[in-house]
Chain A
Amino acid sequence: MFEIRDLHVHFGGIHAIKGISLSVEDGEIVTLIGANGAGKTTTLRTASGLKAPTTGSIWIDGKDITKASPQDRVKMGLSHVPEGRRVFPRLTVLENLELGAYLRRDRAGIAADLADVYARFPVLAERTKQTAGTLSGGEQQMLAMGRALMARPRILLLDEPSMGLAPLLVQMIFDIVKGINETGTTILLVEQNANMALQIAHRAYVMETGSIVAQGTAAELAQTEDIKKAYLGG
């Protein structure tokens, strides 16, 4: 349902993405792993329309959305939890969550989803009136996830959701990601924590300096020696 074809991205003179293609099928969790600076974040930013590609195309449900604006992509069911959380620092937790549902009009549905987010992340329920900028790192990560869920996305792009989280929470976040996926949301997951990512993903791509160097089912890749050495710390 989501596809990237032969994508190239430049930052000025820097050729950051060098012709990658990848696809995520309906209901899948696909993970994109790779070293720092490989281009994972850039791939996601291009997918959600924050960064324009040089060439190549991006597709949702067989429709070319390369030229669509970010808000149109949100309308089509794409949601992106960016690297570094990017919560609105001077808005309250509740306002942040409400903004997640900006394009939705169904009050009842929004209320239900809000209750759902609070159930998944009880910390947020305790902090509804706190300004987001003063939350701890982990709290902000939960808020960012919750905010994305408020859009009730069909495809969710996650950029390192476990970064800076306590072990208990890392586990929890991966459980939540899995849970979200099980309720029918397609997920493209970028992770440094490759071990965990490969555990919950169906398929995986490995990126290195702007290119995809390996792909396959998560289980296969987790057994590949090179990959174990380079990314799994073993």
Chain B
Amino acid sequence: MPPIVRTLLTRGVPLLALYLVVLGLIGAGIIDAYWMATLALICVNIVLAVSLNLITGFTGQFSLGHAGFMAIGAYATAIISNAVAGPAGFLGGLLAGGVLAALVGFLIGLPTLRLRGDYLAIATLGMAEIIRVVFVNLDSVTNGAAGLTVTQNMDWNWFFVLTVGSVILIRNYLRSRQGRDAIAVREDEIAAESIGVDTTRAKVMSFTIGAFFGGLGGGMYASYFYFIKPDLFGFLKSIDILVIVVLGGLGSLSGSIIAAILLALISTLLQGFTEIRMILYALLLVVIMIFRPEGLMGSRELSLNVFSRLGRRRPALATAQAAPGASEAQGKGDER
């Protein structure tokens, strides 16, 4: 079998099956408006989490500003698709949103990615806040705090294409030389430089690509949920996305996907407990982290490829998150 045929069979068939099953369930009315909205949210969260995982989990750059990219994508899509009706406006909006987010990511990333750890986190957090404040103040374009009403342009077909497409593209990136450079940066920046990895370039590239898909996620959000306003994209949204990434496992794409689904299900289950739902959610978060600090998947991947071994081991996250003390402890044995 030529590799391309094999890939289509092993990966394409299960995906196509997934697509058709959901389509069938929608047709049969089993997936109703409520479940469709839940599905939409899952898809948006997958795109957001996977793109943040690229930045934080794989490249080791701690970002607290993903909601900023989301906001750019959401507003660009909203404004363009409101101005130009039909698929042209909506797809153009999504693309413009992604590109704009990538551009901002590039411009912000270039100077700030020199920062390490928490300093980078705070710089990205600041960036997202600035983006939000700009949207509040660009009254004539964004309608300020009052927010924008958006036409619903997404359906299951689009969600499927965009979500699966994003995941595949990011996965391909990670398993290429550019992606391995990014992982090398995460593992040990000094060592990476010493073997010829242009670490600045690797970081900025991951950040820009992550920003693009963050923007795309925002655009998908805006195109389904009717209404956006700046305070949806605050600091807490960035945290929400980070929670998905860490819960799934830093450095595991399938972990991010599983966590996005799991959190949506948890949220559904908790909806009945109006009064204490957030208490239960917070408790659950703490308990999960205590018992599985490496996240649900660690850095392992679950493969769709039914013929390959399940759970092929992928690189784990180390340097970026290990306590600074640990990396400075000299000596040959890594004692912890």
Contacts and interface: CB of A to CB of B under 8 A. Distances in A.
Most buried by A among B328, B331, B333: B331
B330 A85 contact: yes
Contact of B328 (A50, A133, A163): A133
Interface string A23-55: 000000000000000000100010000100000
Interface string B309-336: 0000000000000000100111111010
B328 A84 contact: no
B322 to A, nearest CB: 14
Interface residues of B, number: 8
Nearest to A133: B328
Given A137-B330, A140-B330, A163-B332, 17 more contacts: A41-B333, A45-B335, A50-B335, A83-B332, A83-B333, A83-B335, A84-B329, A84-B331, A84-B332, A84-B333, A85-B331, A86-B329, A86-B331, A87-B330, A89-B325, A89-B329, A133-B328
Interface of B: 325, 328-333, 335
Interface string A57-98: 000000000000000000000000011111101100000000
22 contacts: A41-B333, A45-B335, A50-B335, A83-B331, A83-B332, A83-B333, A83-B335, A84-B329, A84-B330, A84-B331, A84-B332, A84-B333, A84-B335, A85-B331, A87-B330, A89-B325, A89-B328, A89-B329, A133-B328, A137-B330, A140-B330, A163-B332
A163 B331 CA distance: 9
Nearest to A88: B325
Contacts of B329: 84, 86, 89
B335 to A, nearest CB: 7
Contacts of B330: 84-87, 137, 140
Contacts of B325: 89
A83 B328 CA distance: 14
Interface of A: 41, 45, 50, 82-87, 89-90, 133, 137, 140, 163
A41 B331 CA distance: 12
Nearest to A90: B328
A133 to B, nearest CB: 6
A111 B122 CA distance: 44
Contacts of A82: 331, 335
A147 B333 CA distance: 20
Contacts of A45: 335
Contacts of A90: 328
Contacts of B333: 41, 83-84
Contacts of A140: 330
A26 B325 CA distance: 36
A122 B329 CA distance: 24
Nearest to B328: A89
B145 to A, nearest CB: 45
Contacts of B331: 82-86
B288 to A, nearest CB: 22
A70 B325 CA distance: 19
A87 B331 CA distance: 10
A45 B333 CA distance: 12
A85 B331 CA distance: 7
A12 to B, nearest CB: 13
